[in-house]
Amino acid sequence: MIADIAAVALGMFAERGFSSVTIDDIAAQAEISIRTFYRYFSAKEDLLQVMIRQRAAALAVALAARPREESPLRSLRLAVEVAVSAEDQASVEQWIRVVADAPNALRAVMGGNILEMNATIAEFLASRFGMPSDALVPITLAVAAGAVIQNAQTRWHFAGGDLATSISEALQVLEEGFSTDIGRRTGVKKQPKQRVTSSSIRRS
């Protein structure tokens, strides 16, 4: 029911604009009562978070299927590719367009992204690194991965191609930017300061 109502609403948002569509309009088009609508959603903005929740749920399943011996960031990249490949790209493109054209809904969408996607990623990374879910490393990497996914999705929206491949290629950049033993670190090691001498200046 939730997915059906959200799909109806998304089509209406894309056609008429987010601000122009009322909850009454959505209920009528979905052939449900206003009371039924509020049983599943507290506000119109909640409809735009359904896709985020679906992707987060699919990602959690895909992450659980990755082998333990695989590096965490590689597992994340491949799991995201599996989850996104199962999505309808036309619906995702429609969703991006609606969100981009509705600044008043953007804040709710970003909040949902942090609560759902980033939390799913952070929890997975924390379990692989043997760290608490609120530790700096998994949270930071989750935020970075979330930003990479959003940026790749936006680039795909304008450039076209395959969405899952676009996101996977972007996450690969992140994966290759970190060492595979990051899970064994408890903090970031500071590089020793290089002493500047007159001889070193002459050598440079």
Q: What is the mean pLDDT of the chain?
A: 86
Question: Looking at residue 179, what is its pLDDT?
Answer: 55
Give the integer Cα–Cα distance in Å for 118 and 114: 5
Question: Looking at residue 183, what is its pLDDT?
Answer: 45
Give the integer Cα–Cα distance in Å for 118 and 201: 46
**What does the block give as tokens for 30?**
């979905």
Residue 184 has pLDDT above 60, yes or no: no
Is residue 149 within 8 A of residue 80, CB to CB? The reply is yes
pLDDT digits (tens, 9 = 90+) for 104-139: 777 777 777 778 899 999 999 999 999 998 899 999
pLDDT digits (tens, 9 = 90+) for 16-72: 999 999 999 999 999 999 999 999 999 998 999 999 999 999 999 999 999 999 999
By CB neighbour count within 10 A (0-12 exposed, 13-18 middle, 19+ buried), where does 47 fall? buried
0.95 surpassed by pTM? no
By CB neighbour count within 10 A (0-12 exposed, 13-18 middle, 19+ buried), where does 170 fall? buried
Is residue 7 within 8 A of residue 88, CB to CB? The reply is no
Q: Tell me which of 8-17, 112-121, 185-194 is least confident.
A: 185-194
Residue 185 has pLDDT above 90, yes or no: no
Query: What does 180-196 look like in DSSP terms, one character per residue?
Result: TTGGG-SSPPPPPPPPP
Q: Which domains are seen in the chain, by residue range? A: 45-179 (1.10.357.10)
In eight-state DSSP terms, residue 17 is -
CB atoms within 10 A of CB 53: 18
pLDDT digits (tens, 9 = 90+) for 140-162: 999 999 999 999 999 999 999 99
